[in-house]
């Protein structure tokens, strides 16, 4: 994933809900994950911690998975697609 697309993904996650489709590393299973970094949505889910920065050299991204109600991470190199589902 190119840097500008990663930046757009992170901005979209901070603004609302994004559905990210990626391949899980251990199982090659395709995972479709509705997730967010939106402070309002995090607060609604009882989360007071906000991720403010990302290491641009890292291939990992952490987001709040709405379906699991937990923090989950995925590798940017395994992302198949992503789309804003609720802004």
Among 87, 85, 46, which Cα is nearest to 33's? 85
**This model's pTM is above 0.85:** yes
pLDDT in the model for residue 54: 80
CATH T-level topology, domain 3-86: SH3 type barrels. (2.30.30)
pLDDT in the model for residue 77: 95
Q: How far apart are CA 64 and CA 27, in angstroms?
A: 21
Q: What are the residue boundaries of the structural domains of the chain, listed by start?
A: 3-86
Mind listing the pLDDT tens digit for each residue in 9-53? 999 999 999 999 999 999 999 999 999 999 999 999 899 877 777
Q: How far apart are CA 87 and CA 60, in angstroms?
A: 23
Q: What pLDDT band is residue 58 in, cutting at 50, 70 and 90? A: confident
pLDDT in the model for residue 2: 85
Strands 30-36 and 17-23, sheet pairing: antiparallel
Q: What pLDDT band is residue 72 in, cutting at 50, 70 and 90? A: very high
Strands (E), 1-87: 17-23, 30-36, 60-65, 70-75, 79-86
């Amino acid at each position: 994933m190119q840097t500008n697309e990663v930046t757009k993904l992170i901005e979209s996650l901070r603004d609302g809900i994004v559905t990210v489709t990626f391949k899980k590393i251990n199982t090659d299973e395709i995972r479709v994950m509705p997730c967010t970094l939106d402070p309002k949505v995090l607060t609604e889910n009882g989360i007071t911690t906000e991720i403010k920065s990302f290491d641009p050299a890292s291939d990992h991204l952490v987001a709040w998975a709405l379906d699991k109600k937990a923090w989950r991470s995925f590798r940017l190199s395994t992302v198949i697609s992503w789309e804003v589902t609720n802004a």
